[in-house]
């Protein structure tokens, strides 16, 4: 059977988000825990008989030790952080048969998913400015995986209380 190829459609959601909380017992040292959604990506490869729907998304739960560099400006902080993250990666590639099309049984495979929950090395660095109880951060984070690092550049708003 010859397959007829139709152009690929790619849908990408590269935006992520995170929720975090922390404690800074002394001026130069703190700790943070967070949940990070690293975004998702999907694409479709279409054939006359049906198509493959590929999907991947990543998220992580992480804990960090945070070190702050002393600054002469009381409203500015430069920081770095090291920690561990439990990264979850979901990936699927089911073949979807068009209604009324003849699809060989070998095409009708169930979706496959990859899920890794092992603790991995995580790191980050950023700058933050304080205005009263509000904190605005620009931060880069990376999460090590066996298939390459996942990363997130974020603009965060936090509240101190």
* Phi–psi pair at 102, nearest 5 degrees: -85, 120
CB burial of residue 124 (10 Å; 0-12, 13-18, 19+): buried
pLDDT at 139 over 70: yes
**DSSP states of the chain:** -PPPEEEEEEEEE---EEEEEEEEEETTEEEEEEEEEEEEEEEEEEESSEEEEEEEEEEEEEEEEEEEE--SSTTEEEEEEEEEEEEEEEEE--EEEPTT----GGG-PPP-------EEEEEEEEEEEEETTEEEEEEEEEE--TT--EEEEEEEEEE--
Q: Do residues 54 and 112 make contact, with C-beta atoms less than 8 angstroms apart? A: no
What rounded mean pLDDT belongs to the chain?
A: 78
pLDDT in tens, 79-100: 999 999 998 877 776 656 666 6
Position 2 confidence tier, pLDDT thresholds 50, 70, 90? very low
Greater pLDDT, 17 or 81: 81
Task: Output the domain CATH number for residue 54.
Answer: 2.40.160.20
Strand partners, 137: 128, 156
pLDDT of 48:
55
Distance CA 72, CA 63 (A): 28
Cα 16 to chain centroid, rounded? 6
Record the pTM: 0.73
Greater pLDDT, 106 or 28: 28
Number of domains in the chain: 1
Domain range for residue 50? 5-159
């Amino acid at each position: 059977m010859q397959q007829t190829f139709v152009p690929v459609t790619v849908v990408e959601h590269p935006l992520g988000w995170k929720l975090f909380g922390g404690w800074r017992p002394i001026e130069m040292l703190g700790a943070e825990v967070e949940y990070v959604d690293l975004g998702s990506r999907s694409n479709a490869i279409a054939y006359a008989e049906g198509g493959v729907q590929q999907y991947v998304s990543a998220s992580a739960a992480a804990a960090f030790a945070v070190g702050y560099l002393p600054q002469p400006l009381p409203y500015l902080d430069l920081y770095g952080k090291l920690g561990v993250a439990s990264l979850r990666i979901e990936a699927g590639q089911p073949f979807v048969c068009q209604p009324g099309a003849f699809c060989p049984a070998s095409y009708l495979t169930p979706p496959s998913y990859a899920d890794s929950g092992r603790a991995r090395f995580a790191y980050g660095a950023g700058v933050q400015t304080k205005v009263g109880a509000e904190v605005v951060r620009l931060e880069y984070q990376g999460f090590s995986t066996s298939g390459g690092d996942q990363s997130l550049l974020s603009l965060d708003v936090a509240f101190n209380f």
